[in-house]
Every structure is written in C-alpha cells, then in structure tokens.
Amino acid sequence: MLGVPFALGADRHGVDMGPSAIRYGGLSAALDTAGVDYTDVGDLSLPTLQSQPASTDASAKYLDAIAEMTDTLADRVATEIADGSVPLVLGGDHSIAMGTMRGAAQTSELGVIWFDAHGDYNTPTTSPSGNVHGMPLAAAHGYGDFAEMPWATAPNVAEENTVIVGARSLDADERAVLRESDISVFTMEDIDKRGIGPVTDEALDIATDGVDDVHVSLDLDWLDPDDAPGVGTPVPGGVTYREAHTAMERVADRDAAESVLRSLDIVEVNPILDQRNTTGERAAELAASAFGKRIL
C-alpha cells in the first residue's frame, strides 16, 4: 500500500489528500477482513501545488513536476513487484497512473483495464484544459506528443490489451482517436445493456490475452456522483456502488484463478469535495473487493 499525494495533474487542491482519505475510510480494516497480507509503506514525497510556480505551459500544466513524480513512482512500483508484492497505489489525481503503469510494465507485457467515466486519451495538443490527469492512457501508449516523452510511456502496454470500462464523457478528439485505435471501449450503454459482470469478464479476457498480467486503474468518478460525490470531474449516469463492487469482485475472482493482478491504483478521491468522506470509504471498500473481500 503506497500513497501518492499528488494534485498537479488535476491542478486542483484536495485530491492530494486522497491517500489519507482512503486510509481514514477504513482501508486497513477492510483489507484485514479480506485476509490480505499487506504493508502500508506510507506516502511518496512529491512536488505539491504550493511548491510550484504557476505553470507557463497551458497545453500540459506542471509537466516537469509530473515527470519527476512518474519517475519516482515507476521506480518504486518496479521495486515492489520485483520483491514479490502487488502494489496498491492510492492517489492522487489520475496522472499518477503514468508512474504505476510504467513501473509495472518495465519487465514484461502488461494489460490495462481503465475503470473511468473518461477516456483519459488527450494529449497536450488536444486537451481542452491542459490538465495531465486527462492524458495518462495516451501517455502510456506513447500517442501523439507523448511519442517524444519516453519518461511518460509504459513499455510493453499494447492498445490491443487496453480496455476502458464505463466511459460516458469523451472529448471529440478522444472519440475520434479511440474509434481508430485497437483499444476496447465499453461505454455505460454497454453496461446498461449487458450488465457489469459480463462486461468486466470480457474486459479481463481482452486485457489478459497473450500477456503476463494486468494493471487495474479505478477512478472514483467511474461511479455515479450520488455514490461517490468527492471527485473533481463528476459525470452523472455512472455505475452504482454495487456494480462497482461486482466489477472488483470479478477482478479478484480472475486473480484467484489465474494470478493476473500485477498492480492496482485508486485515484481522484478529493475530500474537500466529499460528503463526510463517503468517497474515501467507497474507495477503501472497493480496493478490498479487488483483493478478495466477500460478503460471505
């Protein structure tokens, strides 16, 4: 369990307190109940919004600090995996996934499942906001501007093994790129029609096809804002809390059968925007479900 208190990718105060909110939300107790053998190694020491001058690059804000974070986190994740652990990384905004994926994919092929309301496939050229938390999946694939930023890419992560689940808010450029790519995208319409269980099972089939393991990235804005209000970019019409549990339980079931989970990050919990730490508690419980917690 590793905290990454980082907000520069969102350019918004509060999300850097996400690791504390998730821990306070009962993460240790939930993991204990699930019988997980874990160690909380604390938080990384990283640049903060308060320590940075205002970004002068409107196309990709605070990119130098984000590169520093990515390198630091990638090295730590790679070390933990080499020591036989499965990193549970607590964000922080979604730009931290650049570091988690880069570290997890250093030595062998990796699939990715992206549970998110958004595609996170913008680049500095296409981003409407310049906030890098909307770019990490494009960065992992070295797409567009990121082809010239090797620090941002995740080696051994292929489009064919990348799956976005629950998308419901895509920018025009993202939509065009994703349609032409080999990335699989399951929208909320797919979940409504087919159910979260079958969609998650197919996402796992795609992400694990021909690769060694999978990274799971869970953005709390994937949930409907009624269930997870404490996020920076809420989008109505998301999955319910129960559906999110089902998805994480399917991940745990596959891992129990095939040992496929290499790393998990949980991101975008912002206690400043939350209601009595509801979202922090949701994040803690969902993490435990991904590691095998069950009702019975």
Residue pLDDT, tens place only, 101-145: 999 999 999 999 999 999 999 999 999 999 999 999 999 999 999
Find the distance separating the first CA and the last CA of the chain, reported in whole Å.
25
Q: Is 118 a catalytic residue?
A: yes
* Residue 54 belongs to domain spanning: 2-291
Is 227 annotated to bind a ligand? Reply is no
| Residue 45 confidence class, pLDDT cut points 50, 70, 90 | very high
- Segment 216-243 shows an average pLDDT of 98
Q: What is the CATH number of the domain that holds 79?
A: 3.40.800.10
Tokens describing residue 113: 């499942």
- Return the pLDDT at 50: 87
User: Has residue 73 got a pLDDT over 90?
Assistant: yes
What average pLDDT does this structure show over 265-287?
Answer: 98
Quick check: is 296 in a domain?
A: no
Respond yes or no: is residue 219 known to be catalytic: yes
Tell whether 172 is covered by a domain. Answer: yes
Q: Which of 268, 274, 281, 285 is catalytic?
A: 268
Judge whether residue 296 has pLDDT over 80. no
117 occurs within a structural domain: yes
Residue 160 lies in a domain: yes
The count of structural domains within the chain is 1
Check whether 221 is labelled as a binding-site residue: yes
